[in-house]
Amino acid sequence: GAIPDGRRGTQPRYTRHIASFAPGASTMSTRDLEPGIVTDLTNRLTYAGYLRLDRLLTAQEPLSGGPGVPPRHDELLFIIQHQTSELWLKLVIHELKAAIAFVREDRLDACFKILARVKLIQKQLFEQWAVLETLTPADYLAFRPALGTSSGFQSAQYRALEFLLGNKQAAMVDVFRYDAAIHVELSALLHAPSLYDEYLRHLARRGLPVPARCTERDWSQPYARDPDLVVVLATAPDAS
């Protein structure tokens, strides 16, 4: 969208743009199609088809309301908020798995690029909660009974993210016994080295005195502070 031009005493461009669509406006903003734009989409890959918008935009199914009673207005916000969060989590998991593979191959430069992206995705996740803050407690309670026992605590992708970053807790896996595929995936992540674990193994390969108990251990167990490791990390190089 347009942005303000910043000159004092002038109307911001975005205001002028919005004003052109206001009721009673004398003109409408128009533009001709760019040369080469394909308008006959018969039997072609389309924007909606590539993104599977038919599935994506029909995946919001509010549970509040009832026969002759429409769903609560704010439930759609609640659904979309959490669905978009899960989409971002899917991307973070995809990126972290690649980052771990790069560290395992001692390719830290490639890993740094991925972690920069993950940082921005996390920023996006944090900031989008501001939208949900427009939902008041009363708004939420109006449809919360329809959600039953479902809860964000049950997010399998959130647990996967925790495991990839090294926050291991075996009891969390048991929550997902109802879904065999998810249970297998989380169990595998629980017992695999995290990003931090692989970084320690990378330092050991570079000749730093990382204790063997830190590079070969039961990966499903939470971290325990190791005084010898603190010394190593204090002298570790910042880049490859």
Q: What is the 3-state secondary structure (H, E, C) of 84-137?
A: HHHHHHHHHHHHHHHHHHHHHCCCHHHHHHHHHHHHHHHHHHHHHHHHHCCCCH
Instruction: Give residue-wise pLDDT tens across range 80-116.
Output: 999 999 999 999 999 999 999 999 999 999 999 999 9
Whether pLDDT at 14 is above 50: no
Look at residues 200, 196, 222, 221 and name the one whose alpha carbon lies nearest to residue 212.
Answer: 200
- pLDDT band at residue 224 under the 50/70/90 scheme: confident
Distance set, CA 220 to CA 156, 188, 202 (Å): 17, 9, 19
Q: What is the rounded average pLDDT of the residues 65-83?
A: 95
Report yes or no: 1 and 14 within 8 Å, Cβ to Cβ: yes
Whether pLDDT at 5 is above 50: no
Whether pLDDT at 9 is above 60: no
Whether pLDDT at 137 is above 80: yes
pLDDT at 166: 95
Alpha-helix residue ranges (DSSP H) falling in the chain: 13-19, 47-51, 53-56, 75-104, 108-132, 137-141, 156-165, 171-174, 180-190, 195-205, 212-215, 227-235
Whether pLDDT at 216 is above 70: yes
Whether pLDDT at 240 is above 70: no
pLDDT at 237: 75
Whether pLDDT at 4 is above 80: no
pLDDT at 33: 81
Q: What is the rounded average pLDDT of the residues 180-198?
A: 97
Where is pLDDT greater, at 39 or 128?
128
pLDDT at 203: 95
pLDDT at 41: 81
- pLDDT band at residue 23 under the 50/70/90 scheme: low
Q: What is the rounded average pLDDT of the residues 114-131?
A: 96
Where is pLDDT greater, at 65 or 193?
193
Whether pLDDT at 130 is above 60: yes
pLDDT at 20: 52
pLDDT at 7: 47
Whether pLDDT at 222 is above 60: yes
Q: What is the rounded average pLDDT of the residues 205-224?
A: 93
pLDDT at 22: 60
Q: What is the rounded average pLDDT of the residues 107-134?
A: 95
Residue with tokens 């924007």: 47
pLDDT at 191: 97
